[in-house]
Amino acid sequence: MHKHLIAGRWSDGRRPLETATAAIDAACVAAEEAFWSFGSSTRAERARFLEAIADEIEARGAEITRVAVGETGLPEARLEGERGRTTGQLRLFARMIEAGDHLDIREDPALPDRQPAPRPRLSLVQRPIGPVAVFGASNFPLAFSVAGGDTASALAAGCPVVVKGHPAHPGTGVLVAEAIRAAIEARGFHPGVFSLVQDGTHEAGQALVTHPLIRAVGFTGSLAGGRALFDLCATRPEPVPFFGELGSVNPMFLLPHAVAARGAEIAAGWAGSLTLGVGQFCTKPGIAVVVRGSHADAFAAAAVAALSETDRQVMLTDAIAQGYRAGRDRVAGSAGVEAMLSSPCADRFAAPSLYRTTGKTWLATEELGEEVFGPLGLIVEVEDMAEMRRVAESLKGQLTCTLHVEPADTDTARMLLPVLERKAGRVLSNGFPTGVEVCDAMVHGGPYPASTNFGHTSVGTLAIRRWLRPVCYQNMPDTLLPPDLA
């Protein structure tokens, strides 16, 4: 199933790197050729195309689920839900571009009689940037991969896409790519609008992001891998934007009245969120910050009890399972960290682990703020609210931060909120961040290292704006303006 789809044609992907590099070059050249027509297509034409992709994915739904279960170990129900999210965001983007809200159209009429100098007519609209490279994610074989949010938003913007499929689920990638190919044929677009290259080497990824015809890159994955690609994008002869979602520990701040009133309830919800999908979500809330005392002790005991009821589960790949064990051992081996629940893990299986430390230790140990991808939680017990604020101020960039509050905590929450909104792209109250709604207001991004561009999101309709750039037209005749401005 390791196949390349290059401009509408399938080829064998189990070849030496030279062939993969040649496939990348052919895909990028085809994407550039396709851009001249696809980038000028109407919003209505692209909307029907996105809807056709969704239809073709649904038509292959049972087969996609069957293959993805075998490749990833994810349960059938999870994959069917993810497939619904994938097709749902395609249709959401179709509605968005038909409305035209993403274009940020601005008009300044001519002022020929203005003194001391007249003003010309000025018109602004967002225009597609060109071919986009997308890297499939390991933990979402559908919603963040071949036809996931990066691909869907780029196509919505009018940008052809070259996807580097993730090696953890090549067969799933082939089925979804075939759905896109069928939609391209049905809607009569240039076949270079979409290509899939399947090669798991770092060299292939480097070849893709440094190809001179690629104009931007979308990535979801590890901090190390994303940073390496980000640096390559920045050092190209013509640098291009790199929109990477790289990970987060997503801390929760449990304020005193909330812990006193419903600490056990919060602990149970945290356990469910922590272990959802074996903790393989970028929004897993890995850290709980609480003021030490009897209520904190009761919260910790309830978390241990809830996590103890979770059986071991299979992780996505052997490498991810090994990474989880290494991260768990790193946390467990840190001075000043106490194990509250530690379970044996072997092969691709993982079970929850829970640790506890002090605010003082957290502030002195930078590595405790690094993401452990898997079902691991860390309770940070602070001496008082002043230390809780210092913990918040010490955070690196996050995808999410959460406040658990009661009305009596309002003044304390007001003290923390300005800190948290500088640290995260999404700030929650009395919830858990593992549910990422695909909608207009969602932000899935944040300051580095949560993402490499804090001004954008990889989920929600604002994601389309990543693949557009503003162009101003001065005194342009209506007959020459883009259709969106004419």
Q: CA 129, CA 351: separation in Å to the nearest integer?
A: 44
Q: CA 218, CA 205: separation in Å to the nearest integer?
A: 12
In this structure, are residues 89 and 464 in contact, taking their beta carbons and an 8 Å threshold? Answer: no
Of 28, 159, 233, 282, the catalytic one is: 282
Note the Cα 225 to chain centre separation in Å.
14
Of 32, 51, 56, 245, the catalytic one is: 245
**Catalytic residue list contains 472:** no
> How many C-beta atoms lie closer than 10 Å to residue 171's C-beta?
20
What is the DSSP code (8-state) at residue 483?
T
Q: CA 284, CA 279: separation in Å to the nearest integer?
A: 6
**Catalytic residue list contains 107:** no
Instruction: Please identify which residue in the block is written with the tokens 């003290």.
Output: 415
Note the Cα 73 to chain centre separation in Å.
21
DSSP-derived 3-state class of residue 335: coil
Token readout for 453 is 């561009």
Q: CA 290, CA 286: separation in Å to the nearest integer?
A: 13
Pairing of strands 349-350, 376-382: unpaired
Q: At what angle do helices 76-99 and 149-157 cross, to 10 degrees?
A: 20
Q: CA 213, CA 27: separation in Å to the nearest integer?
A: 10
- So which residues are the catalytic ones? 245, 282
